[in-house]
Amino acid sequence: MLTVGFTYDLRDDYLRQGFTLEQSAEFDSLETIEAIDAALTANGFKVERIGNIKALVTALAAGKQWDIVFNICEGVKGVGREAQVPALLEAYGIPFVFSSSDVMSLTMNKAVAKLVIAEKGLPTAKFHVVEHEGDVAQVKLPFPVFAKPLAEGTGKGISAKSLIADGETLFKVCQELLKEYQQPVLVDTYLSGRDLTVGIIGRGDTAHAVAVMETTFKENADQAGQSYFNKENCEEVLIYQQATDAVAEKAAAIALKCWQALGCVDGGRVDLRCDAAGTPHFLEVNPLAGLHPTHSDLPILAAMVGVNHQKLIGQIMHEALQRHGLAMPAKGRGARASA
């Protein structure tokens, strides 16, 4: 039986350390950890919970080994925070699930990821990176624009104020974001069309779209986009629906090309938004997508095409094991999701 080490950041641990709800937004609940553990076990693996990067360092120093590590650590600080655990495991030669350290750093920097996508000729909105207050004067994009922290997730730093109609407001919002998040601000040309998310399993030419989901916003939601408030209260303020029309098919095709261009593996999602003409544009990729069975986008997408949480985790493990030349346990060979 293969032993799977399980690395994660438990949200309750950080709340006890004094982190705010928003500061700990990307970390996982005990419910998520237990659900993933149960799914791995049901797929035929022996699971050993490790915990966060500090617990991993202690275990590695003590000589611990695992056949493969299922890593969902988000990290705390810096553009390389999601790359820290993968880099450690690479240094020790231990196989792990999800993308490599270089990919994690690349995709966390949303501006650099967009440069790669644009270089490949794929659609993404024009943008400007504001590193200091003085940079705001250099933004030459037509209004409205959309401002958010360069390297955050779960909607952190995004609110109704992110949609900006004039230069004075842009300066004020960038000033606030620079101070609050201690990182550059990404200013995009605003895309006014449909909000789409594509779940993806696999890597390279064998990757496939699980499904395409459209998000619409109720009256009590932040209308501009996927804000922290909307993410945290998704059941109350957002409506998720599977999209299967021609625009959704185009979004899936673009998302796959973006996934491949950025070198992502195993499983995750690509977020897109359409312009006024209906063309899907790349926003960002999440190579370390949330995996709560009912609250996170990737499991929701999988459920839309009849793939439950256990099967989804099995498919992700199958992809990772195949990359590392390992075999899936006989009872863990789940059915492949289809678009």
Instruction: Name all domains of the chain by residue range, CATH numbers in brackets.
Output: 3-98 (3.40.50.20), 126-189 (3.30.1490.20), 195-332 (3.30.470.20)
Closest residue by Cα to residue 188 from 220, 222, 214, 158: 158
CA–CA dist 80, 101 (Å, integer): 8
d(CA 44, CA 62): 26
**CA atoms of 317 and 135, how far apart (whole Å):** 44
Q: What is the mean pLDDT of each run of 10 residues along the chain (339 residues)?
A: 96 93 90 97 97 97 97 93 97 98 97 98 98 95 96 87 96 96 96 97 97 94 81 86 98 98 98 97 96 95 97 98 93 43
Distance CA 133, CA 131 (A): 7
First to last CA, the chain: 32
When computed from its CA atoms, the radius of gyration of the chain, rounded to whole angstroms, is 19
Taking the C-alpha atoms of residue 185 and residue 128, their distance in angstroms, rounded to an integer, is 8
The helix/strand/coil state of 186 is: strand
pLDDT of amino acid 336: 38
